[in-house]
Amino acid sequence: MIPEQYDFICSIGELIDKLSIENIKCYDANNKIIAERKKEKPDHVYISSLEFKARTSGEQRVRLRDEINRRIADAIKRSSIGYASDVRTYEL
């Protein structure tokens, strides 16, 4: 493997790791919000702080996803990585 490719893969891996952490933080905050709202007397200040945490994590996830996509697109443009043209992860 070429050192540049190794560095590219490591940098994408680091971003994916950060993205997974933000996913967990957002999921956890949303579950706590749901649990708090089910209480007879929910603490609205606590809910508000959790909503802020979930929103912050959600915004960070978008930034990380966009950076991952940008780096992959740049690498494809430079022809430093290839891809299979018929591969999709979703149905049209």
pLDDT on residue 85: 64
Q: How many structural domains are present in the chain?
A: 1
| pTM assigned to the model | 0.76
2 occurs within a structural domain: no
8 occurs within a structural domain: no
DSSP the chain: --HHHHHHHHHHHHHHHHHHHHHHHHHHHHHHHHHHHHSSS--HHHHHHHHHHHHHHHHHHHHHHHHHHHHHHHHHHTTSS---TT--SS--
Residue 73: which domain range?
Answer: 23-77
14 occurs within a structural domain: no
pLDDT in tens, 26-80: 999 999 999 999 999 999 999 999 999 999 999 999 999 999 999 888 887 877 6
86 occurs within a structural domain: no
40 occurs within a structural domain: yes
